[in-house]
Structure 1
Amino acid sequence: MWTFTGGKLIPQYNSGGVAAVKLAPPESPRRLTSRTKTATEGIYKFDGADKLVMCCRDDNKRSTEFAAGPKLGTILFVPERVRLPR
């Protein structure tokens, strides 16, 4: 589980792995940059109200499509929103 808050991506089980995340929604596809010790470039889109699709390449170049696999050198993340009781 991850929490997005105030421009940060915080993993639930690795508090030392907090990443700064910058989104660029006017681009097509929408672009994101994540930074821990190094920057990772990627793209993102929303699939409905509760699903986020992010794609990053392992060579740190920006992905151009939402596809994954070892031959492409990409990683596709599809986290879904968990609605917590208030």
Structure 2
Amino acid sequence: MPRSLNIIYFSWVRERLGMDQEQVTLGEDIETIEDVLTMLSNRGAQYAELFSDIGKLRFALDQDYGIATASIGSARELAIFPPVTGG
């Protein structure tokens, strides 16, 4: 049974993609955040460039911070954003 995931983009990630969120259908082979990023990167150059250095990004699954190798599990939401800095 296909799973869906709502992806929310923040800051310059949102600006570069020109959208703040999208709903995607995950194939059975998508198990980690990294797998989602690979799937998105295969959509075209804009995604591929954005996700080429995932060290510049942070992630949250259902509002809990996660690393790129974290399992998607039954998560319904993935947030992608740059590291937060204060001043």
Same fold (TM over 0.5): no
Rg (Cα) greater in structure: 1
| Between structures 1 and 2, the one with greater strand share | 1
- Which category of TM-score, normalised to the shorter sequence, fits these structures? under 0.3
TM-score normalized by structure 2? 0.27
